Structure 1
């Protein structure tokens, strides 16, 4: 199953019409089931009712757009307190939060994200990490 840019734009517009923002889309396979997981954000926070409403609005669109695909389960949720960071919008939204970053050359950095520049991130100890070198980035919470 693939989500085209055109379908993603339609999903994003519907989500915006409900005063939420599209954070990301994952397509997963768990056991023998396909899961289309759509993450949304909203200020000050996403509620269960927001997720339910987005799911109800997206279902008819997806039934039409993905009619040629095998059965799948639609899940709508917030990205969570410990969320994956992939885009510049994600990185900018995480300024002031604790982040964990793994680079393609296997270095791992942890610290508060203090600055996002055009091509790099800066964490609180002054370490500058080039965005092109990031393999995986996510926020984390100290319990």
Structure 2
């Protein structure tokens, strides 16, 4: 079982879902960031509970050479969409998508499946192949 699968099982045992795992470097610190979601939202107490649950797993299978800081949080209102499941779960939300031709599409995500997504933009419905997406995220208009 992979480290990600172990974390996913631990998170699910606490009635939450693993959204993403991101490793990054900030101010000379390695950060192992675990994003989680749950029906009704994620609060600070739930993040702390999940952190306590996955810390022993990370002690055994140390990521980033063992020199890292663990952060557990919600992906937020404006979140990156990286997997097909992220797109499928975001149908109905506003998205910003950049494809390999560096075209940017902004609008409502009408549908998503394993091959493509459909975004309703000001110019009409745009069909974008999953394989041609460079980056994507949800966005919130304030």
Q: TM above 0.5, one fold?
A: yes
**Displacement over 4 Å in runs of 4+:** none
Residue 46 in structure 1 maps to residue 45 in structure 2: no
Aligned-residue offset at 1:67: 7.7
Residue 69 in structure 1 maps to residue 65 in structure 2: yes
Aligned-residue offset at 1:71: 2.0
Deviations 1:11-63 (A, max 9, x none): 00000000000000001011211000000000021111110100011111101
Q: 1:95 aligns with which of 77, 91, 94?
A: 91
SS at match of 1:85: coil
Aligned-residue offset at 1:70: 3.8
Matched with 1:139 is 138
RMSD: 1.4
Contact 2:95 2:138 in 1 (8 A): yes
Matched with 1:129 is 128
Structure 1: 5+ residue stretches without partners: none
Structure 2: 5+ residue stretches without partners: none
Distance 1:89 1:56 in 2: 26
If the length of structure 2 is used for normalisation, what is the TM-score?
Answer: 0.93
If the length of structure 1 is used for normalisation, what is the TM-score?
Answer: 0.92
C-alpha spacing 1:126/1:52, structure 2 compared with 1 (3 Å): same
Aligned-residue offset at 1:6: 0.7
